[in-house]
Structure formats: structure tokens, C-alpha cells
A and B are shown apart, each in its own frame.
Chain A
Amino acid sequence: DAGVTQSPTHLIKTRGQQVTLRCSPKSGHDTVSWYQQALGQGPQFIFQYYEEEERQRGNFPDRFSGHQFPNYSSELNVNALLLGDSALYLCASSRDPLARDSPDTQYFGPGTRLTVL
């Protein structure tokens, strides 16, 4: 049973560029959430996708956008990169309707480390 996977593992971009990060959820999960984790801090919620729609959004500018595909995989896009966007980007999947115990448990992928120069 594959867990949550993310690609790429590392990425280096320059200011002003655009980046796309990818996430495949754990088997059986239909909900994907994205987080940004700066060095030394806790993850910050960016948004959540369910049924191919953005269901909830944290306090992030419109430069951060996403997409969910019919197979439940998801992309995070960041436009006009700033130095401050350098962080570990984490994807979590959840909501297995067949899990009687704790169906909303979030499982995290290994993350994509983005460096903006």
C-alpha cells in the first residue's frame, strides 16, 4: 500500500519564476492538503482539495494555486517566486471513507524542499 508521494524532492528556482509541485495521495484517500514549513517553524496550512475543488484556504496570497485531478492527485503552483517562499512543502492526504476509526487522519508525504535564489 503506497503512502503519500511527492515530487520532486528538491528544487532550486530564482526569484520571479514559477514552480509546480506534485502529490499523489495514499491509496483510498480522496482529500489532499498542502502545507508550507519554513525552517524552525510548524507547517502552515495553504489549502485543501476535495472533489477537484478548493474546499478551504489558509492565509496565503493568490500566487499560490492548486489543482486536484480525477484520480485525486494534486498540484501546487506558486507564481512570481519570492525569496521568502523557500521552504519545505508538505502534502497530506486524508478521508478514507472506509476507515471506521479516525477516517480524517492526515498522512504526510516526504515533502519537496524549494530553494528560491
Chain B
Amino acid sequence: GIQVEQSPPDLILQEGANSTLRCNFSDSVNNLQWFHQNPWGQLINLFYIPSGTKQNGRLSATTVATERYSLLYISSSQTTDSGVYFCAVERSNQFYFGTGTSLTVIP
């Protein structure tokens, strides 16, 4: 299967700071998504981004498929950004999640 590695595993930020989360994957993929899991376990879809760059408010993401990595940028972080961020990739209808980055934003 495809290995998905996320870094850093844990991140603590002061409110207002910026951060970059990284996702590396071991083989070519058809799709890539970023999710935010809230404390109640709900996975919220952030970006569907198999390649290129997308922005949504304070969040943006870039995937460089040829180099097998994706980056999630969070700017001006807020306490509500706290939670676990997952990268997930898909190939041949098989899905693989990373181990996540646990983000804590302190006021």
C-alpha cells in the first residue's frame, strides 16, 4: 500500500500565528484530500487537491504530485482551528490516511 507521512505530529501555536503542515506520500495517487477532525470525531473536508493550489479563507493548500507531497497552510490561527489534521490519498479506489498533525492553538 501507499505510505502517508505527516509532519509535525504535534504543533502548539499562539493565536494569530501561521503554520505549515506537510504530507508526504510514497507513490503516485489519483486524489488527495485534507481533513480537520474536531474533538467530537467529525471529519470536516477542507480541500480536495490532487494537484495545484487552492485557497479558502485563512486556509490554503498546495500539492506537488510529481514530488509526492502536499502542504496545508493555516494563517492567523484561531482557537477553533485546534484539532487533528489528516491528509488522505487514493489510488485504485483504495484510501490511505496519514497519522495526522495534532494542532493546539492557545489564546
Contacts and interface: CB of A to CB of B under 8 A. Distances in A.
Interface of A: 33, 35, 37, 41-45, 48, 55-56, 58-59, 88, 90, 92, 102, 104-108, 110-111, 113
Interface stretch (B38-46, B64-72, B75-83): B38-46
Contacts of A44: 97
Majority SS at the chain B contact face: strand
Nearest to A59: B1
Contacts, number: 58
Nearest to A57: B94
B45 A41 contact: no
B97 A108 contact: no
How many interface residues does chain B have, given as a range? 20 to 34
Contacts of A90: 41, 43
Contacts of A58: 94-95
A105 B97 contact: no
